[in-house]
Amino acid sequence: MVGVGLTASVRALPVLLQVSRASRHAVVAQRLATALLAEIEMLPYEEPNDPPRFGREPGESAVNRADFDDIDDYDAWTASPPQKKDGREEPDCSAYTRSVTVVSVNVYDFNSVKPDGSTDAKRITITVMRDGMAPVVLRSVRLENANREDLE
């Protein structure tokens, strides 16, 4: 009887280890997505120093986000492996890819994209992927004048 139980436990061990590994990867992906969203949401709604324009301004790198100074600068940004804002690699995350899209949306319908960028709302989508894992996707909508930084 004990031998049967022991055999079943040994056979179940690889499955349990695989579930544990997948859970750990999902937690790391969620942490990477949440940290990036918090970073983006701290920035002003639109360009604070120059005339407003959607996307990165001249001189802002498409790779290194250290110079990003408003939320739509992150549109079409991606990094693999994920990096901190200053360009240093996130530790133990080399197998992950992090990407962002920012679109202008109708303030009354966040699913209605406004291609011209003239809107009072922007939808931020962050996706974190790892081979063999379902992507983690976070979405947030930022309204113009929603943060203190927007009013300065």
What are the pLDDT digits (tens) for 19-66?
555 568 888 899 999 999 999 999 998 888 778 788 888 888 777 788
Q: Which long-range contacts link 75-82 to residues 24+ away (Cβ below 8 Å)?
A: 75/100, 75/101, 75/102, 75/103, 76/100, 76/101, 82/32, 82/36, 82/128
- Is the whole model's pTM more than 0.95, yes or no? no
pLDDT grade, residue 16 (50/70/90)?
very low
Residue 69, number of CB atoms within 10 A of its CB: 18
Residue 76 — left, alpha, or beta (φ > 0 → left; ψ -120 to 50 → alpha)? Answer: left
Identify the band that residue 132 occupies on the pLDDT scale cut at 50, 70 and 90: confident
Residue 38: other Cβ atoms inside 10 A: 10
Could you read off the pLDDT of 35-47 as tens digits, one per residue? 999 999 999 988 8
